[in-house]
Every structure is written in C-alpha cells, then in structure tokens.
C-alpha cells in the first residue's frame, strides 16, 4: 500500500505520553529531510495561552475561539507565541495535564485540525500525536503506534526534566502519566488508540537510535524510499 496525501508522503506516529515518539519523530524527519509536526505542542500552546489569559479549562467555546486565533510559529526547533519563545514553558507537567484536559473537547480538536494539515508539505511530513493516523492524516503512508510501559516512560520523562534543570518527582510523574493515559484513551473524540492499519512499535527495550532505524525500515518497506 502506498497511500499519500496530495502525493506527499506522511509518516504518522501516535502513542501515549512520554513514549519518546517526539524524539523519534523528529530524528526520522531529519534523516529523511521531511517537515515535522509536534501536534501535542499545539494543545500545550493552547493550554498555556488559556492559563495566561484567564480562560477556564472548562470553557470549551472560549478555548475553541482561542485555538482559532493562536498566533504561533515553529522556527528552527523553537516555538513562538505572541512574539515570545515558549518552547520550555509548554513542556511543564502542568501544561501537559492542561493540554490533556482541553484536548478532550470536540470543538477544540476541530479548531486545530486545519492548522495541523498545513504542515503537510513537500517533500514529506513526520507527524506525532494521538490521532495523526486516525483523524488528521488518515491517508498517511505509514502509521506507527509507538509505546513503552508506563514505568519506562516515567523514567524517561524524569531524566528529561532533570536534564533541563527542572524539579521532578518520579512517583508523581508516574501517577500523572497513568492519569493522562486514562484520560487520553477514555475520551469520546479521537481517543488514543492503535488504529487497525498502524504498526506497533514497543520501545521499552529499544534505544532511540534503534527505534528511529525501525521506523525508517518500515517506511522503506511501504515502498516510498
Ligand atoms: O504529546 P504531548 O504529551 O505533548 O501532548 C499533550 C497532550 O495533548 C496529551 O496529553 C493529549 C493531547 N494531544 C491530543 O489529544 N492529540 C494529539 N494529536 C496530540 C496531543
């Protein structure tokens, strides 16, 4: 099967929180010279914008309107919102939890759909998130469901936060990860799930480089490269 969007190859990488899909997706995009979409960053940006503007995480209507007017820019690995660098600010656990809450609203998801699709440009796109293969790019060339055990993911997130000099508590992180998995999987719109046509990549025992090679190998198998 060699499905492409407007003839542009898309690799959709979905999976739970802290599975490493962002790192893997970014490296795959670099190796192939493709564009990269971190869709989780959009939900995080919206959570940050809402908390800064005093918009309640329970007000779906206002959140959707805020999503439609988000002034954001992705540039050389940095993310800008309203003229400010916000790459680090959106990575906090607080922002991640807020993103998970507001991502459950259908109107918020609909408001971010068009924006996500604008990332699909030649020569290709690697997109990571929860519903890349199921909703945003259903005709993706390759769909990967990338996961790891909750304990391995908590450990990875802990190390990532420590490296950034942020305070972290591993038990709290594991608790948050489980709670977020539950919320992302149980919601009625675009829940986190492996689509029938996605191939599973379990990375608990893999290094990042091995996971990247595996995605590239599967991409070659679908016959595009
Ligand atoms: O991938 P992440 O942890 O940065 O995403 C933050 C939250 O955003 C996640 O808990 C659920 C939501 N999200 C989503 O619902 N759909 C996506 N495509 C990406 C993220």
Q: Please check whether residue 26 lies inside any domain of the structure.
A: yes
Q: Please check whether residue 42 lies inside any domain of the structure.
A: yes
Q: What share of the chain is helix, strand, coil (3-state, %, to 5)?
A: 50, 15, 35
How many structural domains does the chain have? 1
Q: Please check whether residue 66 lies inside any domain of the structure.
A: yes
Q: Please check whether residue 164 lies inside any domain of the structure.
A: yes
User: Which of 13, 19, 43, 185 gets mutated to test ligand 1 (max ligand atoms within 8 A of its CB)?
Assistant: 43
- Ligand 1 atom with least separation from CA of 116: 18
Rounded mean pLDDT of 40-66? 96
Identify the pLDDT of residue 76.
83
Residue 148: which residues within 8 A CB-CB, separation 6 or more? 19, 20, 156, 202, 203, 204
Identify the pLDDT of residue 224.
57
Query: Is 70 exceeded by the pLDDT of residue 79?
Result: yes
- Ligand 1 atom with least separation from CA of 90: 4
What the block records as the tokens of 115 is 């924006």
pTM for the model: 0.90
Q: Please check whether residue 225 lies inside any domain of the structure.
A: no
Rounded mean pLDDT of 31-41? 96
Q: Is 198 in the pocket of ligand 1 (CB under 6 A)?
A: no
**Per-residue pLDDT tens over the stretch 178-220:** 998 998 888 888 788 898 999 999 999 999 999 999 999 999 9
Identify the pLDDT of residue 5.
64
CATH of the domain at 43: 3.40.50.300
User: Which of 38, 86, 100 gets mutated to test ligand 1 (max ligand atoms within 8 A of its CB)?
Assistant: 100
Query: Is 70 exceeded by the pLDDT of residue 172?
Result: yes
Q: How confident is the model at residue 1 (pLDDT cuts 50, 70, 90)?
A: very low
Handedness of CA 45, 47, 153, 135 (dihedral sign): negative
Rounded mean pLDDT of 50-75? 95
| Closest C-alpha residue for ligand 1 atom 16 | 130
Q: Please check whether residue 1 lies inside any domain of the structure.
A: no
Identify the pLDDT of residue 206.
95
Q: Is 116 in the pocket of ligand 1 (CB under 6 A)?
A: no
Domain containing residue 132:
6-220
Q: Please check whether residue 202 lies inside any domain of the structure.
A: yes
Query: Is 70 exceeded by the pLDDT of residue 225?
Result: no
């Amino acid at each position: 099967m060699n499905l492409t969007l407007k003839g542009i190859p898309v690799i959709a990488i979905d999976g739970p929180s802290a599975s490493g899909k962002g790192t893997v997706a970014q490296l795959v995009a670099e190796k192939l010279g493709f564009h990269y979409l971190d869709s989780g960053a959009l939900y995080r940006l919206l959570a940050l914008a809402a908390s800064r503007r005093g918009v309640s995480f329970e007000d779906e209507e206002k959140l959707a309107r805020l999503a439609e007017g988000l002034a954001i820019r992705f540039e050389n690995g940095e993310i800008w919102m309203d003229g400010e660098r916000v790459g680090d600010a959106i990575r906090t656990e607080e922002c991640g939890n807020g993103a998970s809450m507001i991502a459950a609203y259908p109107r918020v998801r609909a408001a971010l759909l068009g924006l996500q699709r604008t990332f699909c440009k030649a020569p290709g796109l690697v997109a990571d998130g929860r519903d890349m293969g199921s909703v945003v790019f259903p005709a993706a060339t390759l769909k990967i469901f990338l996961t790891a055990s909750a304990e391995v993911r908590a450990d990875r997130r802990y190390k990532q936060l420590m490296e950034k000099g942020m305070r972290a508590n591993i038990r709290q992180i594991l608790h948050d990860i489980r709670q977020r998995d539950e919320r992302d999987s149980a919601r009625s719109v675009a829940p986190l799930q492996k689509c029938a046509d996605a191939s599973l990549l379990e990375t608990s025992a893999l290094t990042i480089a091995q996971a990247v090679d595996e995605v590239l190998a599967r991409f070659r198998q679908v016959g595009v490269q």
